[in-house]
């Protein structure tokens, strides 16, 4: 087990070979972002490595979409070329294309707008999850162009600190400070209302996350269980429940994972979220073990990654702040992308 990030060349080797264990490649992607993207002498090398991983279909959809996610969180415009290419690839996996669109929104390069618009035109009826991601991407880029949080319309009322709470993940839509005047139930109603714009529903979702607590979790679970309008929305609700790590979400996440007819991106995100839940590991482990044999490769690999990470980091062996250090990199993306290691069960896992 490494107490610090492995050498850059080792991480690049882990990603360059798609036959390496998926847990090893997953950890390498997040170590690259956390440890090396702030070093100007390493940035271009990291971009090339992740770009190569995203372009190589041998990595599979789960890993490729993780590479796209990490590239978006880096906010480096040198990532845009490969992200745009993947997004425009009509025969590529929709989950990977969705993540590429979301990453382009996170980076926010003006030149990406045309690619997002072109993809919207081609996917509106055939691939709603890709279409909606592109629309949401343009919405959040427009929001930034209007001044974002500095826009007078975004001014927060006094006493709304909970609505401004920052998770260090770069979200696909901002929470709205004015939501501090709304009840948790009101925010849940916005989230569940398919007549609202996706941008407004996402804003309500992240406002619920920032409000936190069991009541907010249950409203998110309501949306996950009842929504029939959008796999994109349901997958993001699962992601947010993974961020909140509340045991009250286990039943809804498990039910969603069990829906064989559900979109793979939703089931995958439900599996990852389950792996992050606090205080229910015995039950969660049994669920993940069961679905680690699922017929769907993305779902199967998501469960295997969560189980691998649990062993690698000693899941459920710590408490409080230390618990955060035990999350897998796939789950950590929902928290702060910061890989921290202790010498836990290292002999059970592939080392760099």
Residue 283 CB neighbour total at 10 angstroms: 15
Indicate whether 8 and 120 sit together in one domain: yes
With CA atoms as reference, report the closest residue to 265 among 296, 228, 229, 225: 296
The answer for residues whose C-beta is within 8 angstroms of residue 231's C-beta and 6 or more apart is: 128, 129, 262, 263, 265, 266
Per-residue pLDDT in tens (0 to 9) along the chain, 352 residues: 444 678 999 999 999 999 999 989 999 999 999 899 889 999 999 999 999 999 999 999 999 999 999 999 999 999 999 999 999 999 999 999 999 999 999 999 999 999 999 999 999 999 999 999 999 999 999 999 988 777 766 665 444 555 566 677 889 999 998 898 999 999 999 999 999 999 999 999 999 999 999 999 999 999 999 999 999 999 999 999 999 999 999 999 999 999 999 999 999 999 999 998 888 899 999 999 999 999 999 999 999 998 887 776 665 443 333 333 333 444 444 333 333 332 222 222 345 5
Indicate whether 73 and 211 sit together in one domain: no
Indicate whether 86 and 130 sit together in one domain: yes
The residue out of 145, 180, 207 marking a domain boundary is 145
| 168, part of any domain | yes
- For residue 218 the two structure tokens come to 């249950």
Q: Structurally, how many domains does the chain consist of?
A: 2
Indicate whether 203 and 330 sit together in one domain: yes
| 254, part of any domain | yes
Q: How many residues does the chain have?
A: 352
Indicate whether 340 and 288 sit together in one domain: yes
Indicate whether 243 and 323 sit together in one domain: yes
| 28, part of any domain | yes
Indicate whether 214 and 254 sit together in one domain: yes
| 152, part of any domain | no
pLDDT of residue 327: 38
Indicate whether 162 and 133 sit together in one domain: no
With CA atoms as reference, report the closest residue to 53 among 80, 87, 26, 89: 26
pLDDT of residue 346: 25
pLDDT of residue 330: 40
The residue out of 102, 124, 145 marking a domain boundary is 145
Residues of the domain holding 221: 157-352
Residues 51-94: pLDDT tens digits? 999 999 999 999 999 999 999 999 999 999 999 999 999 999 99
Indicate whether 314 and 244 sit together in one domain: yes
- For residue 59 the two structure tokens come to 């990595």
Q: Is 310:316 a contact under the CB 8 Å cutoff?
A: yes
Indicate whether 174 and 318 sit together in one domain: yes
pLDDT of residue 350: 43
Residues 242-260: pLDDT tens digits? 999 999 999 999 999 999 9
Angle between helix 60-74 and helix 94-107 axes, rounded to 10 deg: 10
pLDDT of residue 148: 75
pLDDT of residue 352: 56
Indicate whether 335 and 200 sit together in one domain: yes
Indicate whether 306 and 174 sit together in one domain: yes
Q: Is 327:26 a contact under the CB 8 Å cutoff?
A: no
Distance CA(149)–CA(18), nearest Å, equals 41
| 75, part of any domain | yes
pTM of the model: 0.86
pLDDT of residue 153: 67
The residue out of 117, 145, 173 marking a domain boundary is 145
Domain with residue 43: its CATH number is 1.25.10
pLDDT of residue 319: 37
């Amino acid at each position: 087990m490494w107490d610090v990030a492995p050498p850059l060349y080792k991480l690049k080797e882990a990603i360059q070979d798609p036959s390496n264990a998926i847990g090893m490649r997953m950890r390498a992607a997040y170590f690259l972002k956390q440890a090396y993207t702030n070093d100007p002498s390493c940035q271009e090398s990291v971009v090339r490595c992740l770009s190569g991983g995203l372009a190589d279909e041998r990595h599979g959809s789960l890993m490729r979409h993780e590479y796209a996610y990490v590239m978006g969180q880096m906010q480096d415009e040198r990532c845009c070329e490969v992200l745009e290419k993947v997004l425009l690839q009509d025969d590529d996996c929709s989950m990977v294309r969705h993540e590429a669109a979301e990453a382009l929104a996170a980076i926010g390069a003006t030149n990406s707008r045309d690619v997002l618009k072109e993809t919207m035109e081609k996917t509106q009826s055939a691939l709603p999850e890709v279409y909606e991601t592109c629309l949401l991407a343009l919405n959040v880029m427009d929001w930034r162009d209007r001044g974002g949080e500095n826009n007078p319309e975004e001014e927060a009322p006094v006493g709304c600190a909970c609505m401004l709470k920052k998770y260090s993940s770069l979200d696909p839509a901002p929470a709205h400070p004015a939501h501090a005047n709304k009840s948790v139930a009101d925010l849940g109603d916005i989230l569940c209302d398919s007549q609202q714009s996706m941008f407004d529903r996402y804003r309500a979702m992240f406002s619920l996350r920032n409000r936190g607590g069991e009541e907010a979790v249950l409203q998110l679970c309501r949306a996950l269980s009842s929504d029939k309008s959008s796999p994109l929305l349901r997958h993001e609700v699962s992601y947010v429940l993974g961020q909140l790590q509340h045991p009250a979400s286990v039943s809804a996440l498990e039910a969603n994972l069990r829906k064989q007819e559900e979109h793979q991106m939703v089931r995958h995100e439900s599996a990852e979220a389950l792996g992050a839940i606090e205080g229910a590991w015995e039950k969660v482990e049994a669920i993940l073990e069961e679905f680690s044999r699922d017929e769907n490769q993305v779902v199967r690999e998501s469960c295997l990654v969560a189980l691998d990470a649990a062993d690698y980091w000693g899941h459920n062996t710590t408490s409080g702040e230390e618990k955060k250090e035990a999350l897998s990199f796939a789950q950590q993306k929902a928290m702060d992308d910061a890989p921290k290691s202790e010498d836990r069960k290292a002999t059970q896992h592939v080392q760099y």
